[in-house]
Chain A
Amino acid sequence: MSTSPGGIDPAAPTVIAGPRAAASAASPVVELRGVGKTFGAPGGKAGARPVEALTGVDLAIERGEFVSLIGPSGCGKSTLLRIIGDLTPTTAGAVTVNGKAAARARQDRDYGMVFQAPVLFDWRTVQKNVELPLEVTGRPRQEREAKALAMLELVELADFTGHHPWQLSGGMQQRVAIARALALDPAILLMDEPFGALDEMTRERMNLELLRIWERTGTTVVFVTHSIPEAVFLSTRVVVMSARPGRITNIVPVDLPRTRGVETRELERYFELVTEVRESLRGTEGGSDGPGVPPARVRVEGLSA
């Protein structure tokens, strides 16, 4: 389970364990130490066996990073994302975001959330949907309108401010959701399979668009996905997870050129990285689960959108 393919300095600390993280000078945006999550813990329904969704997760994410979480269904990658965003409480370990507890970070509105579905409000126009977080935080109207328009320009939907979500295509709706997530200038953008429901062509274009937005805003992104090519194409690091119990099994640094385009997908290094992530996924599943899922199936799961 090597994290150092050719060309990468093996010494570069990509997995930061607890003590080392504390020692590092620049504090990471997100820091997870020994994070665990057990569903149906004592005190829940009688007879329900507790399910260990996550265990012993250590991860540090630096400012400006684009980190993908990838793994088979049920590996807890979405749960991990929700834990970072303080939408789900942990049952073990500590989550620090911007140097404070996750709950505090949520109160400070450090997060931007994008889900698999756009979750736009039907009754609001595109413009008003993007203004929503600004309304909630009580910004004055002029600032709201200007900011929302700027965000819509960023996702290239400035011509659609007066439309309602149900008048847009799926890809456009998801772009509105991204604009909305960015409206509060969040320190960290949490994306839970944001392009999972889109067709392949729209998805590839959305990937390019997201990279462009990420470069322009400099936000830190945590990105949950099922798709290996997508994870490799977008990320600076790919975090590979395995199921039962959910945990991090490998972290693959992506050393592709920072500016990526269509041609990136044709680079040899890209294919090598895709293969490496794929093999990590296969390895984790086969090694730990005994009579678990056969490797071939894991690969299919990993690739499916």
Chain B
Amino acid sequence: MERPQTARVEAQADVGVDVGVVPAIDDLPGDAVPDAGLVEAEVALGRDLEAYQPPTPRRDRRARRAWVRPVVGFVAIIAVLVVAWEGAKWIAGDPWDITSILGIPVTIVHDPPSRWTPVNDINLPHVWLIFESFVETDANGETLLQGLVAAALFTFRGAAIGFALGASVGLLLAIMLVHVRFLERALLPLLVASQTIPIIAIAPVIVVGLKAGWFSIAIVASYLTFFPVTVAAIRGMRSADPRAYELMRSYAARDRTVLWRLRLPASTPYLFTAFKIAATASIVGAIVGELPSGIRDGLGGTLLTSMQYYSIQPERLWAAIAVAAALGIFCFVLVVIVERWALRNYRPTEPGAAA
């Protein structure tokens, strides 16, 4: 008797609507004791419907450790690739005569059963040779890794400026196209065309026109960056429920208000998808932008030099490629971190759908 009573009070507190709901069940004629099960079911229902609070996703302890698994996975995949790389050389590479690996003296003599040019020592140098080349010093006593990191920083600066420029231009363009429909029809084909012209062909034009320097590099990088942002932003700014625009209309909201309060917030998840593409593209753009300018300070210059010495020191090119790839991953992760923060208030997507 006591339990149903408290349950009833809870139900009323929970529901808080017309109290009449509950007595309707309790005051059944000839049934002094209300069916405890029924009341409980109602309380449960009230809780389900009213006090429904889903477990707060993200930000729990599990989420904080969420980066561990991807990192382990990444390392595992790298390990598999290294094994495959060396395995191919074991089967079809040049004869092995190894005396030391990463400074550790070993003796490996092996004659692969067959020969296949793509995996010979010129095309696929041994992995440890690439790692060893990082610590090789040049005439100035500087290690290759130091040189590469400096070059990567230079390229990163150009790429970052290009990314910021391209993303801003892309977003402004999208805002314009969303508001002026005829412009979208007229301008979009031109934008698409701009992306089909190889960047290699455009880069010299920009570099010569603007004089070689970090600014021309940034422009080339932004040329690759703006397009995905424009496309995603247009899509995103139209992604909200049509009734949300009607709602704003019913408030007699001006275009600018709709843009700030609805269109831009609604497009944010789309924008970050584009930013991830743009971040990596901006690295490519910056590297390509360095090539025709004769600038030797960045990864573009390093790659060019390494290519010239490829037949003698192939591991140096591979080392430069590895650093360029690492820079790309770094930029991508940077965007993901900002995205996590920017979308913290948005409806969480599928658990684990991080990148």
Residues of A within 8 A of B243 (CB): 115, 117, 119
27 contacts between A and B (CB under 8 A): A87-B246, A106-B250, A106-B252, A111-B250, A115-B243, A117-B241, A119-B243, A121-B244, A122-B346, A123-B265, A123-B345, A123-B346, A125-B345, A132-B251, A136-B253, A156-B17, A166-B347, A167-B53, A169-B48, A169-B49, A171-B50, A172-B50, A184-B251, A202-B49, A209-B17, A263-B20, A263-B24
Task: Considering the complex, give the chain B residue whose CB is closest to the CB of A156.
Answer: B16
* Cα A205 to Cα B246 with chains together (Å): 27
Pairwise interchain contact B50-A87, C-beta atoms closer than 8 A: no
Residues of B within 8 A of A133 (CB): 251
* Cα A163 to Cα B345 with chains together (Å): 10
B134 to chain A, nearest CB (A): 45
Is B54 on the interface with A (CB-CB < 8 A)?
A: yes
* Cα A117 to Cα B246 with chains together (Å): 13
* Cα A156 to Cα B17 with chains together (Å): 9
Given contacts A123-B345, A209-B17, contact A171 B49 (CB under 8 A): yes
**Which of A132, A136, A137 has its CB near the most chain B CB atoms (within 10 A)?**
A136
Is A124 on the interface with B (CB-CB < 8 A)?
A: yes
**Which of B45, B247, B268 has its CB near the most chain A CB atoms (within 10 A)?**
B247
Interface string of A251-264 (1 = CB under 8 A from B): 00000000001110
Residues of A within 8 A of B16 (CB): 156
Pairwise interchain contact A205-B17, C-beta atoms closer than 8 A: yes
* Cα A299 to Cα B313 with chains together (Å): 84
Pairwise interchain contact B252-A107, C-beta atoms closer than 8 A: yes
Pairwise interchain contact B249-A262, C-beta atoms closer than 8 A: no
Q: Which of A107, A132, A164, A205 contacts B15 (CB 8 A)?
A: A205
Q: Which of B54, B250, B257 contacts A87 (CB 8 A)?
A: B250
Pairwise interchain contact A121-B49, C-beta atoms closer than 8 A: no
Q: Which of B151-198 touch A at CB < 8 Å?
A: none
Residues of A within 8 A of B53 (CB): 163, 167
* Cα A125 to Cα B346 with chains together (Å): 10
Interface string of A214-242 (1 = CB under 8 A from B): 00000000000000000000000000000
Given contacts A208-B18, A262-B20, A263-B20, contact A169 B50 (CB under 8 A): yes
Is B340 on the interface with A (CB-CB < 8 A)?
A: no
Number of A-B contacts (CB under 8 A): 91
Given contacts A201-B45, A262-B24, contact A132 B261 (CB under 8 A): yes
Q: Which of A137, A164, A201, A262 contacts B49 (CB 8 A)?
A: A201
Number of interface residues of B (CB under 8 A): 35
Q: Which of A91-150 touch B at CB < 8 Å?
A: 106-109, 111-113, 115, 117, 119, 121-125, 132-133, 135-137
Interface string of A165-178 (1 = CB under 8 A from B): 01111011000000
Given contacts A171-B49, A202-B49, contact A113 B246 (CB under 8 A): yes
Is A28 on the interface with B (CB-CB < 8 A)?
A: no
Number of interface residues of A (CB under 8 A): 41
Pairwise interchain contact B247-A119, C-beta atoms closer than 8 A: yes
Pairwise interchain contact A137-B251, C-beta atoms closer than 8 A: yes
Q: Which of B54, B244, B253 contacts A119 (CB 8 A)?
A: B244
Using CB atoms and an 8 Å cutoff, list the residues of chain A in contact with chain B.
Answer: 85, 87, 106-109, 111-113, 115, 117, 119, 121-125, 132-133, 135-137, 156, 163-164, 166-169, 171-172, 184, 201-202, 205, 208-209, 212, 261-263
A116 to chain B, nearest CB (A): 8
B244 to chain A, nearest CB (A): 5
Pairwise interchain contact A135-B52, C-beta atoms closer than 8 A: no
Is B79 on the interface with A (CB-CB < 8 A)?
A: no
Residues of A within 8 A of B15 (CB): 205
Pairwise interchain contact B257-A136, C-beta atoms closer than 8 A: yes
B56 to chain A, nearest CB (A): 8
Pairwise interchain contact A135-B261, C-beta atoms closer than 8 A: yes
Residues of A within 8 A of B21 (CB): 205, 208, 262
* Cα A298 to Cα B53 with chains together (Å): 39
Pairwise interchain contact A212-B17, C-beta atoms closer than 8 A: yes
Q: Which of B233-268 touch A at CB < 8 Å?
A: 241, 243-244, 246-253, 257, 261-262, 265, 268
Given contacts A117-B241, A119-B241, A262-B21, contact A164 B54 (CB under 8 A): no
* Cα A214 to Cα B213 with chains together (Å): 68
Q: Which of A87, A115, A136, A171 contacts B261 (CB 8 A)?
A: A136
